[in-house]
Structure 1
Amino acid sequence: MLKEFKNFIMTGNVIEFAVAVIMAGAVGAVVNGFVADIAMPIVGMLTGGMDFSALKYVLSPEVKDAAGAVVTPENAVRYGAWINTIVSLVVVGFVMFLIIKAYGKMKKPAPALAPSGPTQEELLTQIRDLLKK
């Protein structure tokens, strides 16, 4: 059983999958940084300086006691964070599209297979010629 597990782990597919998971985590961090630090400030500037992450609809405000400590936290629908998530999804989708497109261009086309023998027409022509003789 240990030998079977070793063979399973050492196959190319498992190792490639592990590398893909690690790379996906790194790419995810880069894309999230791009969205949070570059894309959203530009979108905010284009919309008049609006910070989407601060947008929310308060269902019930927070309640504080006399000392200023929060007794009941605010209950709000944070739709601005959802907008940021949608922008992040679009950016990730676009990056993945570019990666797949570049991979497709780098991939070499499979060599065309040479015909294994004479075609049906060539065989019929040979039979005809043999019958004429």
Structure 2
Amino acid sequence: MLKEFKDFIARGNVMDMAVGIIMGAAFTAIVTSLVDDLVNPLIGLFTGGVDFSSHMIRFGEGDNAASFMYGNFINAVIKFLIIAWVVFLLVKGVNRMKEMAMEEVTEPEPKEPDAPSSEQLLAEIRDLMKNQQAPS
């Protein structure tokens, strides 16, 4: 079982996936900062200082009251849209690079010469027959 685990870990796609997850976590931290520190203040500027994270509906009173934190949900949607947009741009860029690489690799096949016409073939046969019949 240990050998199977080593084989599994040694596969290239497992390492690629691990790197992707780590980069995704780091990217999520950057997007969170972008939304919380830059996007939300800009939205607040246009909406009169509204901070979405403080928006909530409280059910009940006191310390044990339930809170419906819809402002945090709005922030999460903004973060998702930013991440989705960046991933879209990355995939689009990778696809474009693959297309460019395929265009470079794919060389046009050499064009075969056109086949001779019937008249040309008959003329060649005639000439060959004349050469064979000619006295040497």
The interval holding the TM-score normalised by the smaller chain is 0.7 to 0.9
Q: What TM-score do you get using the length of structure 2 for normalisation?
A: 0.71
Unaligned runs of 5+ in 1: 63-69
Relative contact order higher in (CA < 8 Å, ≥ 6 apart): 1
Unaligned runs of 5+ in 2: 126-136
Report the 3-state secondary structure (helix = DSSP H, G, I; strand = E; otherwise coil) of the residue aligned with 1:58: strand
In 2, the alpha carbon distance for the partners of 1:112 and 1:11 equals 29
Q: What are the within-5 Å matches in structure 2 for residues 67-82 of structure 1? A: 70=63, 73-82=64-73
Identify if the C-alpha distance between structure 1 residues 8 and 48 changes in structure 2 by more than 3 Å, giving closer, same or farther. Answer: same
Q: How many percent of aligned residue pairs carry the same amino acid?
A: 33
Question: What's the CA shift string for 1:64-92, capped at 9, x where partnerless?
Answer: xxxxxx4xx12222111111111111111
- Report the CA distance shift for 1:105/1:33 in structure 2 as closer, same or farther (over 3 A): same
Q: Deviations over 1:33-57 (max 9, x none)?
A: 1111111111111111011111112
Larger radius of gyration: 2
Higher strand share: 1
Which structure has greater helix proportion?
A: 2
TM-score (norm 1): 0.72
Say how many residue pairs are matched: 120
Q: Does 1:15 align with 2:6?
A: no
Task: Report the RMSD for the aligned CA atoms in angstroms.
Answer: 2.7
